[in-house]
Amino acid sequence: DAEITQSPRHKITETGRQVTLACHQTWNHNNMFWYRQDLGHGLRLIHYSYGVQDTNKGEVSDGYSVSRSNTEDLPLTLESAASSQTSVYFCASSDTRTGGREQYFGPGTRLTVT
Amino acid sequence: QKEVEQNSGPLSVPEGAIASLNCTYSDRGSQSFFWYRQYSGKSPELIMSIYSNGDKEDGRFTAQLNKASQYVSLLIRDSQPSDSATYLCAVNRLTGGGNKLTFGTGTQLKVEL
């Protein structure tokens, strides 16, 4: 079955380290999104991509970067991890062929920065 | 003013009752509206989408949209303990090259035996 996966599911890292979170979808969706979810803030958009080689900043993009070299993957990189980036990270995708409005989420990555 | 507002709850309803969850949004250019269910420790799951004014029913769920009032609601009939979760309202707008969602902070629903 087609799906969206994230790895790792849990990660503990130290302040200042570079961290990359993986997102892989087999739906062949053009659109992919990264969110973080924190108590009191809900889901906030970090970066998104509407296709290969396309990347865009969301509302909380500082300290994060993404690259889109193929349709299936959108890795999220924390350049120098900070304690404020401790959060649960969700990847999502949507299909341009059906309007691109409905987003489907991966299982999430819980990141702790110590 | 937040773009998408929801009462955080918890909203407690007895088993078998109707649960009513509400959401307001500020951007009149919003075009599509969604309800996601999120169990504790899990990812959001899309349960309803609505694109035009009125009601849309799917099983025990009914989504209601009133664009003039900038109001979206979700009704859950015959509530079950398995419906206990946080419900996220999401609003879509077409911007630049595609669609983006803005989420509310969610309403926690508790269905009590």
DSSP letters of B24-68? EE--TT--EEEEEEE-TTS--EEEEEE-SSEEEEETTEEEEEETT
Report d(CA B90, CA B111) in Å as an integer.
Answer: 22
Q: What is the dihedral of CA B63, B20, B70, B8, to 10 degrees?
A: -120
B104 touches chain A (CB under 8 A): yes
Give the Cα separation of A45 and A12 in Å (integer).
22
Is B96:B77 a contact under the CB 8 Å cutoff?
Answer: no
- pLDDT value of residue B95: 74
Of A38, B19, A55, A49, which Cα lies nearest the Cα of B7?
B19
Ranges in chain A, pLDDT < 70: 1-2
State the residue for tokens 């296709």.
Answer: A51
Helices then strands, counting H and E runs in chain A, come out as 0, 11
Q: Which of A31, A40, A102 sits opposite B49 (nearest CB)?
A: A102
Cβ atoms of A35 and A43 within 8 Å: the answer is: yes
Task: Please tell me the predicted confidence (pLDDT) of residue B74.
Answer: 98
User: Could you say which of A44, A48, A107 has the minimum Cβ distance to residue B43?
Assistant: A107
Residues of B in contact with A40 (CB under 8 A): 105
Shortest CA gap A11–chain B (Å): 15
Contact B44 A105 (CB under 8 A): yes
List per-residue pLDDT tens for chain B, 113 residues long. Answer: 779 999 988 999 999 999 999 999 999 888 899 999 999 999 999 999 999 999 999 999 999 999 999 999 999 999 999 999 999 999 998 777 678 899 999 999 999 99
Residues with Cβ within 8 Å of B28's Cβ and at least 6 positions away in sequence, in order, are B67, B70
In order of A28, B73, B90, the CA distances from B36 in angstroms are: 22, 12, 8
- Provide the pLDDT for residue B73: 98
Three-class SS state of A85: helix
Alpha-carbon distance B99 to A56, whole Å? 12
Q: Which of the residues B43, B49, B91 would you substitute to probe the A interface, choosing the one with the greatest number of A C-beta atoms within 10 Å?
A: B43
- Between the CA atoms of A6, A8, A12 and A16, what dihedral angle is there, to the nearest 10 degrees? -70
